[in-house]
Amino acid sequence: MQYLVSVIDHRTNSGTPEEAIAIDAFNDRLRAGGHWVFAAGLADPSTATVIDGRGDEPVFTDGPFIESKEHMAGLWIIEAPDLDVALSLMADGSKACNRRLEVRPLLGPED
Amino acid sequence: MVASLAKRFGDLDLAEESAAEAFATAVERWPADGVPPNPGAWLTTTANRKAIDRIRREHKRVDKHREALMLTDHDPPAPVGVIDDDRLRLIFTCCHPALAMEARVALTLRLVGGLTVPQIAEGFLVQERTMAQRITRAKGKIAAAGIPYRVPSARDLPDRITGVLAVLFLVFNEGYLATGPDTDPVRADLTAEAIRLTRLIRELLPGDGEVTGLLALMLLTEARRPARVSATGELVPLAEQDRRLWDAALIEEGHRLVRERLDSGAAPGRYQLLAAINAVHTDAWDARDTDWSQVVALYDQLQRVDASPIVALNRAIAVGEVEGPDAALTAVDRLRDPLDGYHAFHATRAELLRRLGRREEARTGYERAIELAGNTAERAHLTRRRDGLGSSGRE
């Protein structure tokens, strides 16, 4: 199964050099274990643009689609056989990036 | 049976429904055809067939290959050990930390305990529909999020067992000190079910000290149930209970389990210490014979593994019996911040103030405790205590 792991934060660009080193080491472990699919940090929510292309002309709106105190500051997509493996891996991921994480399954081909 | 079906087909709903269908078929056929030589195996085989029928019906267009695989899986009926393993897996799945606590409780009672949805809804005073939705949602999450049917790895096992025991303790306590304005003060169905499930887990994990400890704690608590509520529906405090009403067989079994843990020489955890405290209480057939200094010593030990203010409050009560109400009140007053919203804090304080002759302060304490108490029998007891203050003379 694949899981989306969101990094929860209330600040942006708040990562420290120590955290970056820890995250790199953690990512190496994900790759070595065959769990790595993708990872990235995200720019500030204020840089987001909402698109609605359902009408005749696409409508573009400034800003994130949800205003909230906390936001998604980065993400992983990982491969894991079940939730226990995903949780146990990402408990270390949370330690590495020093943030809370949300783990959510991606819909598989048979869903 | 639900456990082994769930493992085989990876689908809780399917497992439950097929098992139910197999039982229904048995009820229909056995009276006419006679009970088969091996009823358990008959049921398992029938349930397996029903499950496969269901899969066929529900996935008519499913890949033929997948179906063929399912059909050629001629597992012989599982021996007892494997069924136990399946049950253990199911318990760990139902008590998974990724599920909300109330969902864990509901799933465990439904799938491991075999209670019906209306029974569980009644046990926790929620609407049947709400309970059904809660269970459906939890099952949905298990399937969609990939919560595995597996006994956790050795590294995670202690934490996960703690989680399972927390669920069972919660079920027991809800039965023992039922909340709600119009309910029976004690719901024996819930306490009995919690004990039954804890016994089952002890059979599956006989070497785990905390499992044994929790079972002993439940037995020693349950043993006092007949003396705990008076004929007029009031809670009777430990010191005033008619100890002849206690269940001697349960006490004997509880004491045996506590001794078994003491003999092991392993450092006791929270439940083992609570069981030991209850063993000291149930050792005294007259309240005056209680070895309170032993109780205080056990609470000291408990505070080292569980620093909660509730433990500190109970310790203070024991201190009151050894050193007198003054010392206890000093200790209790230090707990006001964390426990101001807890009825037992105010009840304990009021009791100590009453013993010290500070009647007006005691009255305020009882009133606050009555306001906060959720259990009908407890409220009746506190009300009598408060009214007792008045009749014994206000200067």
Q: Helix/strand/coil (H, E, C) string of chain B?
A: CHHHHHHHHCCHHHHHHHHHHHHHHHHHHHHHHCCCCCHHHHHHHHHHHHHHHHHHHHCCCCCHHHHHHHHCCCCCCCCHHHHHHHHHHHHHHHCCCCCCHHHHHHHHHHHHCCCCHHHHHHHCCCCHHHHHHHHHHHHHHHHHHCCCCCCCCCCCHHHHHHHHHHHHHHHHHHHHCCCCCCCCCCCHHHHHHHHHHHHHHHHHCCCCHHHHHHHHHHHHHHCCHHHCECCCCCECCHHHCCHHHCCHHHHHHHHHHHHHHHHHCCCCCHHHHHHHHHHHHHHCCCHHHCCHHHHHHHHHHHHHHCCCHHHHHHHHHHHHHHHCHHHHHHHHHCCHHHHCCCHHHHHHHHHHHHHCCCHHHHHHHHHHHHHHCCCHHHHHHHHHHHHHHHHCCCC
**Does the pLDDT of residue B261 top 60, yes or no?**
yes
B371 or B62, which is more confident:
B371
Residue B74 pLDDT: 42
Q: Is the pLDDT of residue B53 over 90?
A: no
Residue B353: which of B395, B385, B379 has the closest Cα? B385
Question: Exposed, middle or buried by CB within 10 Å (0-12, 13-18, 19+), for B301?
Answer: middle
Boundaries of every domain in chain B: 4-78, 207-304, 308-395
pLDDT of residue B19 exceeding 80, the answer is: no
Which of A17-26, B9-18, B185-194 has the weakest average pLDDT?
B9-18
Answer yes or no: is pLDDT of B62 > 60: no
Domain ranges of chain A: 2-105
Average pLDDT of B4-15?
A: 73
Q: Which residues in chain A are closer than 8 Å to B152, comparing Cβ atoms?
A: 84
Query: Which of the four pLDDT bands, split at 50, 70 and 90, describes residue B187?
Result: confident
Of A83, A88, A104, the CB nearest to B147: A83
- CB B147 to CB A82 under 8 A? yes
Tally helices (H) and strands (E) across chain A: 2, 6
Q: Is A1 on the interface with B (CB under 8 A)?
A: yes
* Set of chain B residues whose Cβ sits within 8 Å of the Cβ of A84: 147-148, 150, 152, 156
The partner residue sitting opposite A105, judged by closest CB among B145, B152, B156, is B145
- Burial level of B226, CB count in 10 A (0-12/13-18/19+)? middle
Query: Residue B76 pLDDT more than 60?
Result: no
Answer yes or no: do B148 and A86 touch at CB < 8 A: no
B195 touches B218 (CB < 8 A): yes
Q: For residue B250, name the pLDDT band (cuts at 50, 70, 90).
A: very high
Residues in B lying within 8 Å of A, measured between beta carbons: 96, 98, 144-148, 150, 152, 156
pLDDT value at residue B79: 43
At B69, the pLDDT band (50, 70, 90 cuts) reads very low
Please check whether residue A87 touches B, CB under 8 A. Answer: yes
At A33, list the tokens. Answer: 């274990």
Q: Supply the pLDDT for residue B152.
A: 84
Please, are residues A70 and A9 in contact by the beta-carbon 8 Å criterion?
Answer: yes
pLDDT confidence bin for B32, thresholds 50/70/90: low
Residue B375: is it exposed, middle or buried by C-beta count within 10 angstroms (0-12/13-18/19+)? buried
Task: Name the residue facing A1 among B96, B146, B156 (closest C-beta).
Answer: B146
User: Half-sphere exposure of B166 toward its Cβ, with a 13 Å CA cutoff?
Assistant: 16
Is the pLDDT score of B43 beyond 90? no
HSE at residue B219, side-chain half, CA atoms within 13 A, is 25
Residue B75 in this model has a pLDDT that exceeds 50: no
Whether pLDDT at B383 is above 90: yes
Share of chain B above pLDDT 70, in %: 84
Between CA B206 and CA B211, with CA B207 as vertex, the angle to 5 degrees is 70
Contact A105 B146 (CB under 8 A): yes
Q: Which range is least confidently modeled, B30-44, B156-170, B245-259, B281-295?
A: B30-44
Average pLDDT on B317-344 reads 94
User: Which range scores top for mean pLDDT: A28-32, B6-10, B307-311?
Assistant: A28-32
- The residues with which A105 forms a beta bridge, in sequence order, are A3
A5 and A90 in contact (C-beta within 8 Å)?
yes
Strands (DSSP E) found in chain A? 2-9, 36-41, 49-52, 59-62, 71-79, 100-105
> Could you tell me which of A32, A29, A50, A42 has the C-alpha nearest to residue A75?
A42
Residue B233 vs residue B353, higher pLDDT = B353
The arithmetic mean of pLDDT across residues B23-38, rounded, is: 70
Amino acid identity, position B324: G
Stretches in chain A below the pLDDT threshold 70: 110-111
Q: Could you tell me which residue, B370 or A108, shows the higher pLDDT? A: B370
Q: Which residues of A touch B148 (CB under 8 A)?
A: 81-84
User: Per the structure block, which two tokens stand in for B180?
Assistant: 């709600």
CB contact under 8 A, A84 and B144: no
**Strand (E) or helix (H) holding A26:** helix A17-32
Q: Give the integer Cα–Cα distance in Å for B325 and B22.
A: 62
Tokens of residue B76, six digits: 């012989």
3-state secondary structure of A49: strand
pLDDT at residue B68 tops 70: no
- Measured between CA atoms, how close is B147 to chain A, in angstroms? 5
Whether residue B247 contacts residue B230, with contact meaning beta carbons closer than 8 Å, is answered with no
Mean pLDDT of chain B: 84
Helix B343-355 to helix B376-391 angle (10° resolution) is 20
Contacts of A86 in chain B (CB under 8 A): 146
Mean pLDDT, residues B288-309: 94
Q: Of A63-77, B5-19, B54-68, B270-284, give the lowest mean pLDDT range.
A: B54-68
Q: Which residue has the higher pLDDT, B13 or A27?
A: A27
Q: Is A5 helix (H, G, I), strand (E, B) or coil?
A: strand
- Chain A, residues 4-33, CB within 8 A of chain B, namely none
Q: Which residue has the tokens 């990512």?
A: A27
Chain A residues inside the 8 Å CB shell of B145: 83, 104-105
CA distance A3 to chain B (A): 9
Q: What is the mean pLDDT of residues B87-104?
A: 90
Considering only CB atoms, which chain B residues are within 8 Å of A80? 146
- Judging contacts by C-beta atoms under 8 Å, the chain A residues touching residue B147 are 82-84
Range A2-105: architecture per CATH = 2-Layer Sandwich (3.30)
Q: What is the mean pLDDT of residues B134-154?
A: 90
| Nearest by Cα to B211 from B154, B260, B149 | B260
Chain B within 8 Å of A105 (Cβ-Cβ)? yes
- CA B81 vs CA A105, B38, B77, B88, B293: distances in Å: 33, 17, 12, 11, 45
Contact A81 B144 (CB under 8 A): no
The stretch B86-112 carries a mean pLDDT of: 89
The CA distance from B310 to the nearest CA of chain A, in Å, is 30
Topology (CATH level 3) of domain B308-395? 1.25.40
What pLDDT score does B137 carry? 94
Say how far apart CA B7 and CA B48 lie, in whole Å.
Answer: 12
Is the CB of A81 less than 8 angstroms away from the CB of B98? no
Q: Which of B58, B94, B147 to mutate to test the interface with A (most CBs of A within 10 A)?
A: B147
pLDDT value, residue B178: 66
User: Above 80 in pLDDT, residue B24?
Assistant: no
B chain contacts of residue A111, beta-carbon cutoff 8 Å:
144
